Amino acid sequence: MQQIAFTMQLRTGCADEYRRRHDAIWPELTALLHQSGVRDYSIFLDADSGKLFAVLRRMPQHGMDSLPRHPLMQRWWTRMADLMETGADCRPLTQDLVPMFHLP
């Protein structure tokens, strides 16, 4: 299993709505993520800065590279674009994090 982590930036005052939308995540999006090899995905918020910290575990033979082209993923990004910093295509702006320590 591979583990990756990255950050995203939430807009000020959007934490409650961000949580609400994720609490009601579309079942078909959950299925797409599982089909793409994602097995565990968590997002945490630093409330002071609005920084979102995401960590996910994926299968070695994952299909995550094709997610940005999938219409369902694009629709989700469009739905979330008003809450977070995004690119022109509504994809959340992310910054990959470098693993520094892991205690199994």
Structural domains of the chain in order of their starting residue, each with its CATH number: 2-96 (3.30.70.100)
Beta bridge mates, 91: none
- Residue owning tokens 């520094």: 100
Q: Mean pLDDT across the stretch 6-10?
A: 98
Q: Mean pLDDT across the stretch 22-26?
A: 97
Neighbour count for residue 12 (Cβ, 10 Å): 6
Q: Which backbone phi and psi does 76 adopt, to 5 degrees?
A: -65, -45
Is the per-residue pLDDT at 104 higher than 90? no
For 48-77, write each residue's pLDDT tens digit: 999 999 999 999 999 999 999 999 999 999
Q: Which helix (H) or strand (E) holds 20?
A: helix 15-23
- The residues annotated with a catalytic role in the active site are 22
